[in-house]
Amino acid sequence: MQDLKAKYLSAIANAADESALEDVRLAALGKKGEISALMATLGKMEADQRKVTGAALNLLKDEIDAALRAKKAALGDAALDERLRSEWLDVTLPARPRRMGTIHPVSQVMEELTAIFADMGFAVAEGPQVESDWYNFDALNIPPEHPARQEHDTFFMHRAPDDTRPPHVLRTHTSPVQIRAMTEQGAPIRVIAPGRVYRMDMDQTHTPMFHQVEGLAIDRNISMANLKWCLEEFCRAFFEVPSVELRFRASHFPFTEPSAEVDIRCSWEGGQLKIGQGDKWMEILGSGMVHPKVLTAAGVDPTQWQGFAFGMGIDRIAMLKYGIPDLRAFFESDLRWLRHYGFAALDMPDLAGGLSG
């Protein structure tokens, strides 16, 4: 009996897990176990011997049973400890934004410029991409014979011959939003209108669809000087440099008078585009004082109100700021390009926290 006790207590101590322990229990105390078999021999014993042996066997059985329970509890604790150790998770670690994809440079730049102009008191306005030719041209003082109307520039919407609705186009600029915003809100007004525009054009710096942001500020005595300050202030904030060099060139737009195109100093070296240095100039926007006829078309009295407007190429300034050489790649949806030039999804640009992280 001492041998049996030693044998089973050591088997119990050595059991590595709950199933090994169960095997020991079956071998000792199971229906066909060793101790049960000995119990079964009691019936054939003399009364005296049965009494002594029975008591000893019961004691042995209780000892083994207690050892099994204790070991089972210990193994359970160990299993729980192991689970707690292996399933431990640090919920204070930052999320992994990579897994969520990236923000396209155009979206990033739209957020950045919205933050800058919002700080100067401009609200965001919107208009449709399929636009009537009245909003896209007539209301902006672009007469029917103007070259911008000719088909090599403009995408016209298909119309059945018996369709009597006014002709529609894919808007060729964001300027029609000037008309819509003034018609809806009147003066004074200060809005920007970022969005998609369309022209038949395709090379390293032109795609048939691209993005502009329109700016419009109308009040009692807004001047060309206000326009210049706004644009210089914008460029400094946007490019995150102490100063940028802008060149205002006298120009012509039917909807502004006087008009100016603005170029920014840059360089193209080894296929890399950089701002602030070099001997090249890149045109980034058209601007001017809103033409009285445009104010009139939008229901604003030109004897009471005046102001400036500008239209800036969003893709252009994105290329310049982030050194992206080819505009066409913007719209190819190449995942490698998006991972390289994209922005972390959780970093929203704001002036206080830093525009581009």
- In the complex with ligand PHE, which residue's Cβ is closer, 183 or 267? 183
* 318 phi/psi in degrees, rounded to 5: -70, -45
Q: Which is closer to ligand PHE, CB of 108 or CB of 172? A: 172
> Contact region for ligand PHE (CB under 6 A) — 18-26, 29-37, 285-293, 328-336?
285-293
Stretch that binds ligand PHE, among 2-10, 188-196, 309-317, 322-330 (CB under 6 A): 309-317
Report how far apart, in Å, the C-alpha atoms of 109 and of each of 54, 205, 222, 238, 314 are: 90, 17, 27, 9, 7
Q: Name the amino acid, one letter, at 207.
A: T
Q: How far apart are CA 20 and CA 40, in angstroms?
A: 25
Strands 123-124 and 189-198: parallel
Stretch that binds ligand PHE, among 61-69, 79-87, 291-299, 303-311 (CB under 6 A): 303-311
Does position 194 interact with ligand PHE (CB under 6 A)? The reply is no
122 binds ligand PHE (CB under 6 A): no
Query: Is the Cα torsion angle 333, 335, 338, 343 positive or negative in sign?
Result: positive
Instruction: Tell me the β-bridge partners of 267.
Output: 274
Structure token pair of residue 249: 């060139």
Is 310 one of the binding residues for ligand PHE (CB under 6 A)?
yes
Cβ of residue 266: shortest distance to ligand PHE, in angstroms? Answer: 19
Q: Does 287 bind ligand PHE (CB under 6 A)?
A: yes
Draw the binding track, 233-262, toward ligand PHE (x: CB under 6 A; -: no contact). Answer: --------------------x--x------
In the complex with ligand PHE, the residue whose CB is nearer, 195 or 311, is: 311
Q: For residue 260, what are the β-bridge partners? A: 250, 287
Closest approach of Cβ 253 to ligand PHE, in Å? Answer: 4
Residue 173 makes contact with ligand PHE by CB under 6 A:
yes
56 Cβ contact partners less than 8 Å away, ≥ 6 residues apart = 1
Contact residue for ligand PHE among 105, 127, 176, 286 (CB under 6 A): 286
Long-range contacts of 268-275 (CB under 8 A, 24+ apart): 271/325, 272/323, 272/325, 273/319, 273/320, 273/323, 273/324, 273/325, 274/320, 274/323, 275/239, 275/241, 275/244, 275/320, 275/321
- Residue 309 found at the interface with ligand PHE (CB under 6 A): yes
The β-bridge partners of 30 are none
Query: Of residues 213, 311, 314, 349, which one binds ligand PHE by CB under 6 A?
Result: 311
Q: List interacting residues with ligand PHE (CB under 6 A).
A: 173, 175, 253, 256, 286-288, 309-311
